[in-house]
Amino acid sequence: MRTIKTLLVANRGEIALRVMRSCKDMGITTAAVYSDADAQAPHVKFADMRVHIGASPVGESYLKIGAIIAAAKEVGADAIHPGYGFLSENAAFAQACADNDIIFVGPPIGAIDVMGDKAKSKRAMIEAGVPCIPGYQGQDQSDARLIKESAAIGFPLMVKAAAGGGGRGMRLVHTAKDLPDAIKAARSEAANAFGSDELIIERAVIAPRHVEIQVFADSHGNIIYLGERDCSVQRRNQKVIEESPCPVMTPELLARMGEAAVATARAVDYVGAGTVEFLLDAKNEFFFLEMNTRLQVEHPVTEMVYGVDLVELQIRAAQGEVMTLTQDAVSANGHAIEVRLYAEDPANGFLPSTGPVTLWQPASGVRVDSGIETGGEVPPFYDSMVAKIIAHGETRAIALTRLKTALQSTALIGPENNRDFLLDAISQDSFIRGEATTAFIKDTYGEDGYSAPALTDADYVLGAAAQYALDTQSARGAALPIADELMGWGSLGVLRKSYIYRADEHDIRVDIIQSPSGLWAEIGEDKHALSYSRVSETQLELRLDGARVQVIYARHSPQHISLVTPCRSYSLTNIAGGLPNGIDAGGGGKVRAPMHGQLLEILVSQGESVKTGDKIAVLEAMKMQHEILAEIDGIVTEIAAKAGTQIAADDMIMEIKSAEVEEG
């Protein structure tokens, strides 16, 4: 038994904050580590102590074992909590902690070692009698062997990085023809992301549910399971929505899966919090997928249903305490649903988005675990998940309603984000009915993915009304005192102000009309009664034809505003004062970096002719490779960036002169 007095969190963002909150509750001094990019990050400010560990890229900071151990020693930490991701499932790190007499809040090295290798773990599970998906996890990694094994397993199948997780280095292959390319791509991504290019191959279970069991073990051989989480809604093989219980769960199935999970944990002498992931097919058959030897992102769902603090349990287990909770005493209470708010563009292939956080206004009345704050930044170097919103209710319907209400009043202004997508997803009939499988996003949104619907007249009217209200407020603020009863009055009876927005080449005009009969908004032939009142520095209450709408906003300039309404996040630029500088009337020809990242390759050279859709460059950001495609037909007139260099969002990569201009 060792009592932890000071704990260093070897992580960042929401999970670092989450861990520290439990520490503070337990009276444990907290220490944060941070990279250059995170110097002002919320987790750094929240911690009792902080240590700078290196440059922004993860390889130079959060993955640097030596620097983190040194930081722990510097602050006198007797334990390190790794959070999830980063070094959380790194056996070498756990070993380094042990070597330095620091408690690693996590499982024994052996368990990490086995479960960290998909091939090894699968072999171990087959041995332990846990149901597994047919596949190949051999050490012969030659293309020929992989292809041969694939034929035996049958298509469709998954090619996965043996050391992988989180969807990276993972490829779904439908036919034998696509296999060699998939193996090549998965290898390179695996090598890049995990430092090992070992692959495994598995039968793809089509449209299954992803159901995982939370297990917990102390160092005295006690193992329990705390129900399941259904994490079927995924995009790019990353989870988006998680809930507990699984909508199709039965006590009998849970008992079977729970026992399988406990067996899994027992097979590797597990200690602490762990998650055993299964695929559950339509016939309620389940297959072992992998075991995550760490705290999961979606752990709050379990905490809310089972009334436990998993981080506290982890720390107690790490201190060598005997677990007081027994399987018999575990009882579920109601239903919890979590959604993950990502800084990404769902309408653009879920491409990550970075940059300053102009406004972060989380909802109240639900649990929100976030790692950002207004005035902060989403740096390009790390995972794009910025917050989790978790709603609990006595029933699934109640939890879902609470979640929807919460999302409607959640605002993130700055980076693109998936709030609207989440709202749309949880409003789908199939999701409401609890029928979502891992194919949910594809089935719902098709091959082209989610696309944000066009802005409606009401969206424009709300935007114009908000700008009108704020412009009025600014003008009055700049003016000498004016009596309230004179505001909005014109001696001719009517005052009219136009707000003009550019939309797909034609302009949308909203006139705000102040008249003795009140405020009106005119758009096209339609007229809407309007009124507004200020709620706070970032929120207006608008009434449109009597209906109340809360609008959260950030005003970037008098012309440019971002709005978050209960159903929509969008930005508008009023061009009634002329087009702002920088709006490129030509379009398409200037190829700019869509985000911060490493420019891996430039695939064309100066003078080369390209066609729309041609791949012209590859950018790597947040460990993902993004292809940059030509938006017009033409000739490359200038290459402005260099392959292999780091470039910032909006930096020019190259210029393509339109073929039409050439001919014209």
Partner 1 sequence: MPVFHSKISNSSDKFIENRKEMLALVAELRRLEARAETVSDRRLPVFEKRGQLSPRERVRRLLDPGMPFLSLFTMANYMFDDPDPETSVPGGSNILGIGFVSGTRCMVWADDSGIRAGAATTGGWRSLEAVQEIALKQKLPLIHLVESAGANLVDYEIELWANGGKLFRNLARMSAAGIPTLVVLHGASTAGGAYMPGMSDYVIGVKDNGMAALAGAALVKAATGEIANDRELGGTEMHASVSGLVEYLADDDAHGIAMARDVMARLAWNRHAAPTPAAPYAVPKYSADDIAGIVPCDYTVPYDVREVIARLVDGSDFEDFKPRFGVSTVCVQAAVMGRPVGIIGNNGPIDPAGANKATQFLQLCESADIPLVFLHNTTGYMVGTEYEQAGMIKHGSKMIQAISNITVPKIAFYIGASFGAGNYGMSGYAYDPDFLFSWPNARTGVMAGASAAKTMRMVAEVRAARKGETVDEVAAQKQEDFITALFTKQESAFYTSGRCLDNGVIDPRDTRRVLGFALETITEARARTLRPNSFGVARA
Binding site residues, partner 1, CB under 8 A: 468-469, 471-472, 474-483, 485-493, 495-498, 512, 514, 575-579
By beta-carbon proximity to partner 1, the closer residue of 145 and 502 is 502
Shortest Cβ distance from residue 540 to partner 1 (Å)? 13
Supply the minimum distance, in Å, between the C-beta of residue 490 and partner 1: 4
- CA of 472: how far to CAs of 168, 232, 538, 661, in Å? 50, 48, 15, 44
**Distance (Å, whole) CA 86 – CA 84:** 7
Q: How far is the CB of 650 from partner 1 (least distance, A)?
A: 23
CA atoms within 13 A on the CB side of 562: 15
Nearer to partner 1, 251 or 477 (CB): 477
Q: For the chain, how big is the Rg over CA atoms in Å?
A: 27
The H or E element that residue 654 is part of is: strand 652-658
Cβ neighbours, 10 Å, residue 146: 22
Dist CA 514 CA 506 (whole Å): 26
Hey, what's the torsion of the CAs at 550, 555, 561, 564, to 10 degrees? -30
In single-letter form, the type of residue at position 527 comes to: K
Nearest alpha carbon to residue 561 among 547, 542, 575: 575
Rounded least distance, CB 505 to partner 1, Å: 17
Q: Closest CB to partner 1 among 70 and 529?
A: 529
Interior angle at CA 96, CA 93 and CA 98, nearest 5: 115
d(CA 321, CA 571): 53
Helix (H, G, I), strand (E, B) or coil at 560: strand
CA distance 389 to 371: 12
Provide the 3-class DSSP secondary structure of residue 437.
Answer: coil
Query: C-alpha dihedral over 640, 645, 651, 654, to 10 degrees?
Result: 30
Strands of 374-415, DSSP E = 377-378, 385-393, 411-413
Closest to partner 1 by CB, 477 vs 607, is 477
Least distance CB 507 / partner 1 (angstroms): 11
Of 454 and 480, CB closest to partner 1: 480
Q: Is the peptide bond before 516 cis (omega within 30 degrees of 0)?
A: no
Shortest reach from residue 520's CB to partner 1, in Å: 13
Which residues, 6 or more positions from 656, have their beta carbon under 8 angstroms from its beta carbon?
A: 588, 589, 590, 591, 610, 630, 631, 632, 634, 635, 636, 637
Question: Shortest approach of partner 1 to residue 500 CB, angstroms?
Answer: 8
Nearer to partner 1, 27 or 477 (CB): 477
Structure tokens at 529: 């009664």
d(CA 438, CA 232): 4
CB of 483 to partner 1, least distance (A): 4
- Token readout for 434 is 């609890």
What the block records as the tokens of 344 is 């990404």
Q: Which is nearer to partner 1, 251 or 582 (CB)?
A: 582
In the complex, least distance from residue 526 CB atom to partner 1, rounded to whole angstroms? 20
CB of 336 or CB of 512, closer to partner 1:
512
Closer to partner 1 by CB, 167 or 488: give it. 488
The rounded distance, in Å, linking the Cα atoms of 308 and 227 is: 12
Pick the closer one to partner 1 by CB: 266 or 497: 497
Query: Would you give the end-to-end CA distance of the chain in angstroms?
Result: 81
DSSP label of 585: S
In the complex, the smallest distance separating the C-beta of residue 194 from partner 1, rounded to whole angstroms, is 54
* Shortest distance in whole angstroms from residue 475 CB to partner 1: 3
Q: Which residue's CB is nearer to partner 1, number 1 or number 480?
A: 480
**Least distance in angstroms from the C-beta of 33 to partner 1:** 46
Return the number of the residue (188 or 473) whose C-beta is nearest partner 1: 473
Nearer to partner 1, 147 or 575 (CB): 575
The nearest distance, CB 468 to partner 1, in angstroms, is 5
Nearest by Cα to 422 from 609, 233, 582:
233
Burial grade of 153 (CB within 10 A; 0-12, 13-18, 19 or more): middle
